[in-house]
Amino acid sequence: MNKQIIVPLDMDHDKAIELAKCFNPELCRLKVGNQLFTSSGPKIIEELNALGYEIFLDLKFHDIPNTVYEAVRSAADLGVWMLNVHIAGGRSMLKKAKEALDSYTQPPLLIGVTMLTSLSNEDVKEIGINDISDSILNLASLAKECGLDGVVCSPREVSLIKDKLGKDFIAVTPGIRLETSSDDQVRVLTPIEAVNNGSDFLVIGRPITKSRNPLESLKEIITDLNS
């Protein structure tokens, strides 16, 4: 159960390395997203790998198929454990992303983003989507058809997705909160609720990284999940 938690390092380079040194690769995996990757460059992956961590590179590729193909190969060459693309990029893009990993003996897990967990029902209506659940299920089905390993979704949508697409289709869930404060996240649940819904990996950021003692907060969540 321990390595179910992925801690996003949404911070600058020095803070990220400090936090990685304070955690332990036996306890969690780490996520490098747009903020850290854009400010630090690919060397951050090398540094975190050298500390023994498995890395989820969360750059959410969404572009024409050929560009995504090349970006996925570049990400795989960095030695990441998991990477992701936006499913909304469509079938051809998803197939190219999958094809990009064909020649790797140990390819990273390829995960598709359904819909950002910060979007509310009103937000999705504004971008022309009427039923959020229907749309997420459609996107997840397309990702599975194209050979992706799983999806990023809200912990609230996991059971729906697993019921339709099977337990082995990986669900990675951000939008985890310990108490009432949700920051900018909207479709949130607690860690235990997320795991009970079938979540395979929990992305838990600010509740850990902004706490007074990040290592203690991480350990408390792991203890709760294991009890």
Just list the catalytic residues.
60
* Residue 42 DSSP SS3: coil
Whichever of 16 and 152 has its CB closer to ligand C5P, that residue is: 152
Non-local (6+) Cβ contacts of 122 within 8 A are: none
Identity of residue 129? I
Q: Which of residues 90-129 bind ligand C5P (CB under 6 A)?
A: 113, 116-117
Pairing of strands 150-152, 170-173: parallel
89 binds ligand C5P (CB under 6 A): no
150 binds ligand C5P (CB under 6 A): no
Query: Which window, 14-22, 189-197, 201-209, 218-226, contacts ligand C5P (CB under 6 A)?
Result: 201-209
In this chain, which of 4, 5, 10, 171 binds ligand C5P, going by CB under 6 A? 10
CA atoms of 215 and 1, how far apart (whole Å): 17
85 binds ligand C5P (CB under 6 A): no
Q: What share of the chain is helix, strand, coil (3-state, %, to 5)?
A: 45, 15, 35
202 binds ligand C5P (CB under 6 A): no
- Mutual orientation of helices 65-77 and 91-99 as an angle, nearest 10°? 30
Query: Which window, 90-98, 102-110, 156-164, 198-206, contacts ligand C5P (CB under 6 A)?
Result: 198-206
170 binds ligand C5P (CB under 6 A): no
